[in-house]
Amino acid sequence: MPKKAKVVVHPAFEIGEISPRLYSAFLEPIGNMVDGSMYNPKHPTADSKGLRHDFIDAVKKSGIPAVRLPGGNFVSGWDWKDSIGPVEKRKAHLDLAWHQYISNAVGHDEYLQWSELTGTEPLYTINLGTGDINDAIYCIEYTNHEGGTYWSDLRAEYGHKDPYNVKIWYLGNEMDGYWQIGSYKKDPRAYGVLANEVSKAMKWVDPRIETVACASCSPNMLHYPDWDKTVLEECYHTVDYISMHHYHSVLMNDIPTFVGASRYFEDYINTEAAMCDYLQAKLKSDKKIMFSFDEYATMMRPAGEVHYGRGEYLHYKAHYYADPNRKYIRHDPNDMPFRGPRGNDMLGALANASTLLCFIRHADRVKIGCMTGGLHVVASCDRDHVWQTASAHPYMQLMRYGRGTSLRTSVDCDTYDIPSYIVDDTNQYYEQEGVDYIDTAAAYDKESGEVNIFVINRNQDTSNDIELDVAGFEGLQFIEHIEMYTDDLSKANTYETPDAIVPVINPNAKFENGKLEANVKALSWNVFRFKM
């Protein structure tokens, strides 16, 4: 049996305010993410614009606060001006990023009006790949200006008199990526200058907005973090956030690494924070740059081929290769493939939740988090149905209970090590030592008086007794222990079996003299709720 884990949470040790945007999602028209899920004119619930209202209702019910859209790699070749006005007059294009046809039936206005219908804040990404500074100026003028100009009056003519008032604007997408159309991988200074000028001009159109500059889109990039530093030296004074992405790959069936992968996200955040704080001192600024972790996921993948001796060439080859047999795909929104049970549903819930706990522990810097699969966590769907995966439960509980001020958690528990490993040429990872089996974060909502402590047991073999010491709070009462786990990792929530994995109340916790005694099951998600 593991030793008893001890967690201390005290109101004096604050990290920072938790932004509601930390629990946001990401949307890009890849495959059926738009054509089929969001948009299907033939669906029984579709409105006059072809938007599925069963999907809209599920997203709205979930409480997701914001969605970054419309991409993604797609946006670096997309001209928003071709997607406005009467649908029959819009221009169809090839999407070079994902080798698909883009009809623009869902365009700039549809994305923003879908956000209005779902009650989510749109976090908008502009094209700085093939787009230029005028495209950015016209886009924000069309979107946010009240009227009296060509572009703002055109918005009214096309059916939306009031401004959309989009607050967050991303200055391109993954501009350091080899795969990006118009990539600035080889010239970070040029991108930094462009981001500075675009941010400045957009804020002259609407001084209420905040802008997000691209940093390295993954800590696996060979130029990280030098690329980031060079970019920010040029645009530090005019932008408000940096955009961070990471898709962490784990070899198939390596459960300890999968549920411990948030340690790599933590390292990424710490490095970016150190770099930004160095630049703040160097540039004599009183501004602290905040972080938008606006694409992230952890996934299991089979091992690929590994080649040695060619260094950076391997990264280029992986993304530049042009397959002569590859065809452009035209997605039929009414012909979505059936989605059967997904494997690793509980493990996916733990990996997603663990990454979010990492963000909460860095709430002083990470102010936006967009889960790449977030929409399909709360509204997984096929052509006919919508349901929630197991990941939806921790995700939505964090939206509800992970509010207020993030508090430090002091943890004493057993640990394990993750050895270094390689998945393929572009996914190679160093070792992690001393990974806590008990993964934690805490939120103190001073307005409601609630204190909520989130606990993941990463141990796949055994449960763990745990002591939560909250004696530093005066007058704190225990409300409940919510837990989610399964004895069968092959189970998955589907339309037919929506309750295969669900949270339940564990009545066995004991609370006395400011200390709570409980047991957390193997590979479980837990919420311990208290109230002043």
Tell me which residues are annotated as active site.
Answer: 174, 295
> What number of CA atoms fall less than 13 Å from residue 209's CA on the CB side?
31
* Dist. CA 282–CA 320, nearest whole Å: 37
What are the respective helix, strand and coil percentages of the chain, to the nearest 5? 30, 30, 40
* DSSP string across 277-299: HHHHHHTT-S---EEEEEEEEEE
Give the C-alpha distances (Å, rounded to integers) separating 529 from 157, 398, 449, 478, 509.
51, 12, 11, 6, 11
Which uninterrupted H or E stretch holds 110?
A: helix 108-118
Give the C-alpha distances (Å, rounded to integers) separating 85 from 40, 90, 135, 492.
19, 7, 17, 42
> What number of CA atoms fall less than 13 Å from residue 300's CA on the CB side?
17
The total of other beta-carbon atoms located within 10 Å of residue 178's CB is 18
* Dist. CA 446–CA 442, nearest whole Å: 13
* Dist. CA 240–CA 242, nearest whole Å: 7
**Hey, what amino acid is at 62?**
S
* Dist. CA 443–CA 361, nearest whole Å: 9
* Dist. CA 293–CA 216, nearest whole Å: 11
**Hey, what amino acid is at 178?**
Y
The total of other beta-carbon atoms located within 10 Å of residue 87's CB is 15
With tokens 């999602």, the residue in question is 25
* Dmax (CA) of the chain: 71
**Hey, what amino acid is at 289?**
I
Q: Are 302 and 252 in contact (CB under 8 A)?
A: yes
